[in-house]
Amino acid sequence: MLAAAGVAAATVFAGPGVRAVERPADTRVVAGEGGVQAATGAVGTGPLAGTGPVAGTGPVAGAGGAGAAEPTEPTEPAGNREADRVLFRFEDERITESSGLAVSPTHEDVYYTHNDSEAGPVFFAVGGDGKTRAAFTLRGAAARDWEGMAVSRDPETGRGVLWFADIGDNFDGAWPDVSVYKVAEPASLKDAVLPAVRYRFRYEDGGHNAEGVMVDPRTGRLYIVTKEFAGAIYAAPKRLRTGRVNALRKVGSAPIMATDAAYAPDGSSFVVRTYISATVYRDFDEQLARVPMPPLEQAESIAYTADGKALLTGSEGADSPVHLVPLPGRVLEAAAPAPTPVPERSGTARTEPAGTAEAAEDGGEDAGVPVSAVLLWLLVAFGATGAIVFVARRTR
């Protein structure tokens, strides 16, 4: 196992005759001829120790080699591990592979989780004491490889909405598409079968394995974070359709082997979890901090608390704990939303033509070009023309 000091194992290197693969081509298990190897350096901070080849293709940070790093994570971690604490443990014997985690937008001190693949389309409402309040089944849904969940609110009714991501693909992008199920949050916590809406997705650049899903509470847009060495963040269309496959467009990079992701309740930041740590972002290209995480058997899930001041992280396994990790003050300050601009007292307020903002956001051809930019371009063009004429005359 990847046995970095104080860090939960991330990968198993299995030699000949060792069948450590739970699912085919699982990215957490790598078969090679070098036997079971150990690593002493954490990913992103140093080389992975080991001299045997992996899958017969070459050494993994062997002699003279360097391990893969997490280039998108800041080198300066933030946070105080002494402030971490176990919030509760899942007591339900049915919860053995908690892979997704979310805080209920409606019910106080209630958390949602679901198992990993082959467990059926079922999710659980769990209280802050670790006891299951209710179990819900999604009518007509499949559970090929549920890997994450997210929450949002219906902009019209204010009712909570739950999203379940069947996006795991341990066959190297072999699935033609992946699915996300949308469910209205149950008003009462009693066992029930719930209707669900299925949305199908396909990555614009080919198949990927993914475990992270999140929804921006400000826009309602859904994002998927891939679990790969060259991880990425993909945006779903603003308007999701059930009658066709929705295209996922790459909008940013993600840390190595991301296992989950979540937006803050106010949308001011989002977090991406890996086996090693969690990285907080203000935007896709702006990182705020890397927050150390408690060592877990297999770190799988991440969520913000209802007030957005701390993170919750969980693991697979029976009786698995959910840890509460307070966010550092400087991270909260940096992520605070910018103050609302004060309207001008004089003059006429500018209004964009209908559809302009949406077209620009979606990168459409109707996004338009500001008049000032056109004028600047014309000035530059005329200036360049004058310079060319002047030089031409001087060189005759």
In this structure, are residues 199 and 217 in contact, taking their beta carbons and an 8 Å threshold? no
pLDDT at 46 over 80: no
Average pLDDT over residues 124-147: 97
The confidence score (pLDDT) of residue 54 equals 37
Rounded to whole angstroms, the Cα distance separating 166 from 213 reads: 10
The confidence score (pLDDT) of residue 81 equals 65
Average pLDDT, the chain: 76
Closest CA to 68 of 34, 49, 32, 43: 43
Which amino acid is it at 363?
G
8 and 33 in a single domain? The answer is yes
The tens digit of pLDDT for each residue in 251-297 reads 999 999 999 999 999 999 999 999 999 999 999 999 999 999 999 98
* Alpha-carbon radius of gyration of the chain: 24
Single residue among 23, 49, 69 that ends a domain in this structure: 69
Helix, strand or coil for residue 290?
Answer: strand
In this structure, are residues 115 and 99 in contact, taking their beta carbons and an 8 Å threshold? yes
The first and second tokens of residue 146, run together, are 């549920």
The tens digit of pLDDT for each residue in 22-31 reads 344 443 333 3
In a domain, 346, yes or no: no
The confidence score (pLDDT) of residue 6 equals 39
Give the model's confidence band at 223: pLDDT under 50 very low, under 70 low, under 90 confident, else very high. very high
The tens digit of pLDDT for each residue in 111-135 reads 999 999 778 999 999 999 999 999 9
E runs forming strands in 264-305:
270-273, 277-283, 286-292, 299-304
Q: Give me the number of domains the chain comprises.
A: 2
In a domain, 294, yes or no: yes
Rounded to whole angstroms, the Cα distance separating 57 from 294 reads: 33
Residue owning tokens 């079971």:
36
50 and 185 in a single domain? The answer is no
239 and 188 in a single domain? The answer is yes
In a domain, 236, yes or no: yes
The confidence score (pLDDT) of residue 323 equals 98
pLDDT at 371 over 80: no
189 and 265 in a single domain? The answer is yes
Four-CA torsion 303, 306, 307, 309, nearest 10 degrees? -20
Q: Phi/psi of residue 311, each to 5°?
A: -110, 150
Residue owning tokens 């198992």:
115
239 and 297 in a single domain? The answer is yes
In a domain, 342, yes or no: no
Distances (CA, A) of 18 to 32, 35, 134: 10, 9, 39
Give the model's confidence band at 78: pLDDT under 50 very low, under 70 low, under 90 confident, else very high. low
155 and 27 in a single domain? The answer is no
The tens digit of pLDDT for each residue in 154-167 reads 999 999 999 999 99
Single residue among 315, 335, 355 that ends a domain in this structure: 335
145 and 27 in a single domain? The answer is no
In a domain, 395, yes or no: no
In this structure, are residues 31 and 56 in contact, taking their beta carbons and an 8 Å threshold? no
145 and 7 in a single domain? The answer is no
51 and 3 in a single domain? The answer is yes
**Model pTM?**
0.69
- The C-alpha angle with vertex 192 and arms to 322 and 155, in degrees rounded to 5, equals 75
The first and second tokens of residue 26, run together, are 């699982």
The confidence score (pLDDT) of residue 182 equals 98
Tell which wins on pLDDT, 291 or 81.
291
The confidence score (pLDDT) of residue 195 equals 98
**If you ran DSSP here, which 8-state letter would residue 32 be given?**
B
Range of the domain at 53: 1-69
Closest CA to 211 of 257, 244, 177, 251: 257
The confidence score (pLDDT) of residue 339 equals 57
57 and 150 in a single domain? The answer is no
The first and second tokens of residue 136, run together, are 């819900």
Distances (CA, A) of 216 to 68, 146, 236, 270, 283: 30, 20, 11, 9, 11
In a domain, 383, yes or no: no
In a domain, 75, yes or no: no
Give the model's confidence band at 82: pLDDT under 50 very low, under 70 low, under 90 confident, else very high. low
Sequence-distant (6+) residues with CB within 8 A of 334 are 282, 288, 289
Q: What is the CATH number of the domain that holds 115?
A: 2.120.10.30
The confidence score (pLDDT) of residue 290 equals 95
Containing H/E element for 31? strand 29-31
Give the model's confidence band at 66: pLDDT under 50 very low, under 70 low, under 90 confident, else very high. very low
pLDDT above 70 covers a percentage of the chain that reads 64
Closest CA to 36 of 13, 8, 2: 13
The first and second tokens of residue 133, run together, are 């309040």
pLDDT at 341 over 90: no
Name 354's bridge partners.
none
293 and 165 in a single domain? The answer is yes
Give the model's confidence band at 336: pLDDT under 50 very low, under 70 low, under 90 confident, else very high. confident
192 and 44 in a single domain? The answer is no
Rounded to whole angstroms, the Cα distance separating 145 from 320 reads: 20
The confidence score (pLDDT) of residue 366 equals 35
